[in-house]
Amino acid sequence: MIVLQCNNLTKSYGADNIFENVSFAVRQGDKAGLVGPNGVGKSTLIKVIVGDELVDKGVVTLGKGVRVGYLPQSTSMLEGEKPLMDYVLEEYSDLLRLRQEIKKYQKKMALPEVYNDSKKLEMVMGSYSSFVELYEREGGYSFESKIRGVLIGLGFGEEDFNRNLSTFSGGQKTRISLARILIRNPELLILDEPTNYLDLKAVEWLEGYLANYTGAILLVSHDRYFLDQVTNVTFELKGSGIESYPGNYSRYLILKEQRQESYKREYAKQQDYIQHQEEYIRKYKAGIKSKQARGRQSILNRLERLDKPEEYNKRAAIEFRVETGTGEKVLEATNLSMEYPGKLLFKGIDINIWKGEKVALIGDNGTGKTTLLKMLAGKISGMGEIRFGSRVKTAYFTQEHEDLNLENTVLEELWLDPKMTANEVRSVLGRFLFSGDSVEKRAGSLSGGERSRLMLAKLFLQNANLLILDEPTNHLDIDTREVLEDALLEFQGNLFFVSHDRYFINKLATRVMELEDGKIHEYLGDFDYYKWKKREIQLDEEARLEKNKPLIKKTSKSKQDKPRDKAIPLAEIEMEIEVLEEKLTELGEKLGDTNLYNNPQEVKRCTEEYKKIEEELAELYAQWEARIE
C-alpha cells in the first residue's frame, strides 16, 4: 500500500530553482531517510508535502485514511500556563471523553431504576460494552503510561510533568512537540532533524521507538548512525530530481558509488560510440559512402544521449597541520572537580592522554562535559591539577562559537596574523567554502554551519597538536562532516572531543570516556565497543541479581480459577464485582506508572490481566442481571 505519492514536484523561489521533477513513493512499512547537501531543498520538499509550501508543479497524494504527524526543523514556540502533561494529553481528548462515558454508564448500571428494568439494563450494558470495546481498541488502558514513557525517553522527568509550557527552553519545546506527535501513532511520520536537542540517551531511545514503529516514516537527518539504525530506504534529493536506494545510509553509500561507476562506464561507452560515428561521418560524408554517412547521422540524431556524470558537490578541503610533535604523555589531569551552588558536576576525575590517541568524551546532557573541556582549555578554573606534556600546543573549538567576534567580517575574523597576505587568508577561507562576496559577510549573519566552518578555519591556522573539540559536527551537513572526519583521521596530533555524533565517534575514537554520576568510566575502543561493553556489564549485573533473588514457592491456583458455582448468592456476586472493580482500578493506576513503560513485557502482562478481569466482570454482571430479573 502506498502511503505517500509525489509526482513531478518542482519548486523555485524567483529565478532560483530549488528542485524539479521530484517523484517518489513511500509505502507502508517504509522508514525512509531523505539525504542531500545543505541547500538542496530537503526541508522545502518536506514543507511542500505537508502543505506548508505551495508547489510550482506536481502533485502530492496521501493514501486513503492516512494521518500525518509532522515535526518541522524549527518548531513554533509553545507558550502559556498549561502544564506539560495536560498539553500532551490533549492528543487523547477523544479517549478522555470516552472514559467519562464509560464511567457514566457504570454509574447508570448501579441505579435501581435501571437494574430493576431488564430492557433499560440491556440498553445500558450494550452501550457500555460498545464504549469499552472502542476504548480498549484505541489503547485506552495504556495511553497514559505510553505518554509518560515517551516523555521520559525524550529526557523529561516526573518533576517536569506539571511545569507550565512557558517555563521550558526552546529545545525542550521541540522535544514536547515530538512527544505529542509520536504518542498517537499516525500512519505517516514526517520528521525534519528529530535528533536536534537530544542527548545520546534520548537519541538511542528514539531510535528504538522508530525502529519498532508500525507506521511509515520519512525523515531528514544529518545523524548517519541514527539513519543506519532506523531507515530501510534512502532518498537522495538533487537539484535535478531524486534517486531511491534500498537500505539504510551505509548501504546507500555503497550502492551510490556502484551506480555512479556504472553510469560513468555507460557514459564513456556512449561517448566512444558517438566519437567513432562522427569520425566516420566526417570522413565519408562527401564520398562514395555518403549515403551510409547520412544514415549514421540520422541514427546519431535519434540517439538519446546520456547526461555528463555529475561532478561531486564542491566540498571543503579541510586539513590540520602539526608544527611539532609531542612527548609520550600529552595530558595528565588529576583530581579535577567542579561544583556550582547547589550542584556537583564531577569530583576527583583523573584524565591521561598519550601520544597518538583520539579520545571521545560522552555522557548525558548536564553531566559537565563542556565544563570539563573548558577547564582543560583554560577557559574556566576549577579544583585539581592540569599538566600538559612537552611541546604540547592546544586549540579549542567551542560548541556555541563564543570565540567569534560577530561584528567582524569573515575575512577580518580569520586575518589575525599580520604576516599573512590577503591572498593567503582568502586561500584558507576557500578551503572552508568561503569565496567571493561571502568573505565580506559579518560573522553575526552567518548560519550555524557557516560559523562552524569559520571556527574550523581558525583552528586550521593554529597548527596545534592537541585539538580540544566540543561538538565540532553541529550544524554541518553530511558532506562536510565526512571531510572533517577524513581530515581528523589524517591529523598527526591528538584529539579530545565531545560529540553526540556516534558515526563520527566510531570513525575517530581510539578510546571512549563516559562522564556519569560525576565519575569517568573508560572503554578502550570506539562507540560500538563501548555499547557492547556496557551491555555486557548490564547483563552480568542482571544475572547476579537473578542469582541472589529469593526463591518464591509456587502456590495453588487461586479460588477465582475454579469453576464458578451457579448457586452463588446475589450478595456474594455483588461483593466479587466490587473486589474486581477495585483490582481494575489498581491495574489502571499501575498502567499509568512511569517505570512500567520501560518494561514492555510487564505492560503486556498488565494489559492482559486488565482484559481478563473485564471479561470476568462482564460474566458477573450477566449473573447479577439474571438474579434480579
Of the ranges 175-184, 191-200, 228-237, 590-599, which one carries the lowest mean pLDDT score?
Answer: 590-599
Of the ranges 316-330, 450-464, 582-596, which one carries the lowest mean pLDDT score?
Answer: 582-596
pLDDT at 136 over 70: yes
Phi-psi region of 359 (alpha: psi -120 to 50; beta: other; left: phi over 0): beta
C-alpha cell at 265: 562506464
> What pLDDT does residue 488 have?
92
Residue type, 387: R
**Runs of H (alpha helix) within 368-447:** 369-376, 410-414, 422-431
pLDDT at 447 over 50: yes
pLDDT at 565 over 60: no
Query: What does the alpha-carbon distance between residue 11 and residue 102 come to, in Å, rounded to a whole number?
Result: 50
CATH architecture, domain 329-537: 3-Layer(aba) Sandwich (3.40)
Q: What is the mean pLDDT of residues 155-165?
A: 89
The 8-class DSSP code of residue 521 comes to E
Whose cell is 534529493? That residue is 237
Q: What is the mean pLDDT of residues 572-592?
A: 71
Residue type, 487: A
CB-based burial label for 601 (10 Å; 0-12, 13-18, 19+): exposed
Report percent pLDDT > 90 for the chain.
37
Whose cell is 588529576? That residue is 334
By the 8 A CB rule, do 175 and 88 touch? no
pLDDT at 485 over 60: yes
Chain-centroid distance of CA 328 in Å reads 39
**Runs of H (alpha helix) within 442-569:** 448-461, 478-490, 502-508, 527-548
> pTM value?
0.74
How many Cβ atoms are within 10 Å of 351's Cβ, its own excluded?
Answer: 19
Report percent pLDDT > 70 for the chain.
90
Query: What does the alpha-carbon distance between residue 277 and residue 268 come to, in Å, rounded to a whole number?
Result: 14
pLDDT at 348 over 70: yes
As beta bridge partners, residue 61 has 5
The overall average pLDDT reported for the chain is 85
> What pLDDT does residue 603 have?
60
Confidence of residue 576 (pLDDT cuts 50, 70, 90): confident
Chain segment 389-442, per-residue pLDDT in tens: 999 999 999 987 777 888 888 888 888 777 788 888 888 888 888 888 888 888
Q: How many CA atoms lie within 13 A of 554 on its CB side?
A: 2
**Runs of H (alpha helix) within 285-329:** 290-302
> What pLDDT does residue 425 have?
85
How many Cβ atoms are within 10 Å of 109's Cβ, its own excluded?
Answer: 16
Confidence of residue 75 (pLDDT cuts 50, 70, 90): low
pLDDT at 461 over 60: yes
Confidence of residue 369 (pLDDT cuts 50, 70, 90): very high
Of the ranges 195-204, 460-469, 599-608, which one carries the lowest mean pLDDT score?
Answer: 599-608
**Runs of H (alpha helix) within 231-310:** 249-284, 290-302
Confidence of residue 547 (pLDDT cuts 50, 70, 90): confident
pLDDT at 16 over 90: no
Helices 170-182, 143-153: inter-axial angle, 10-degree rounding: 140
By the 8 A CB rule, do 218 and 34 touch? yes
pLDDT at 381 over 60: yes
By the 8 A CB rule, do 505 and 499 touch? yes
The phi and psi torsions of 447 (rounded to 5 degrees) equal: -75, 170
Query: What does the alpha-carbon distance between residue 226 and residue 198 come to, in Å, rounded to a whole number?
Result: 12
CATH class of 1-78+168-247: alpha beta
Query: What does the alpha-carbon distance between residue 281 and residue 269 come to, in Å, rounded to a whole number?
Result: 19
pLDDT at 200 over 80: yes
> What pLDDT does residue 375 have?
94
Chain segment 161-195, per-residue pLDDT in tens: 999 888 887 778 888 888 888 888 899 999 998 98
Query: What does the alpha-carbon distance between residue 318 and residue 460 come to, in Å, rounded to a whole number?
Result: 8
- Cα angle 426, 432, 436 (rounded to 5 degrees) comes to 45
Confidence of residue 233 (pLDDT cuts 50, 70, 90): very high
Confidence of residue 559 (pLDDT cuts 50, 70, 90): very low
Confidence of residue 238 (pLDDT cuts 50, 70, 90): confident
The 8-class DSSP code of residue 409 comes to B
